Chain A
């Protein structure tokens, strides 16, 4: 199977190790992975902040770049939610018929990473080995936006050596919310503190998620507070094996 990786703007810039892990993981599973060098951003930041015309330009750009892709894999559920929930409205208001047609044709070929693994490749056991205690944070966009359900948990359950620590109040937002984290910094921080009161008692070594955005927020607080827990994108757990532990792509 062939797939094109949309790494997302912030993963490209700040979390390249997540991208490297996706490459290791999918190539290990026999996927021929492409990377379009012209890619930038899906437009979520602009759309969610109210910059509609700017978001539309990026959305249009995305559809043009990937019009011919067999599959598009995105290791960020909030970007997938942006594409599924907000592109239709943007294209309805600002786009033309041919753009809408191209988008409708492209849409079923776009997957979030855990969807791609479980639905498109049909695997739950990806052959990973990660001998650590791990708790899973369900991002709101993954949970309520694109309805990932138990896919992430099913994938983690098959990772050898992994000691899974369930997180209470799994459906509660961590308080990141994109520009919300700076526009309403104090409220965002209060929500983060509440989330950490659930996360830290799990005594996990790692808190994982399918969105580095939540993890940047929680991990930044863990570092500030010397909390002794680290954050890690789930791609990096799933890519780890005995012969290629996560240090290989960190």
Chain B
């Protein structure tokens, strides 16, 4: 019962973040929404591991946290680089 409520709230959160990902007026807005979607996926995996009683799924959450951090850092790096060349010309 509690886990069903947690799944419902996480689904609503993913839906709201996806609306921001589609609507976001600028690229950094979309990156923030994507980062939030990765965080929500980590929470989803943890709740799913509890619901299925399989602790091995927490490995997936750890790898997903690492990849989300790398992706956000890469996006930030290239946004800053793009701004730099845009200002120079």
Partners in one complex: no
B binding-site residues for A, Cβ under 8 Å? none
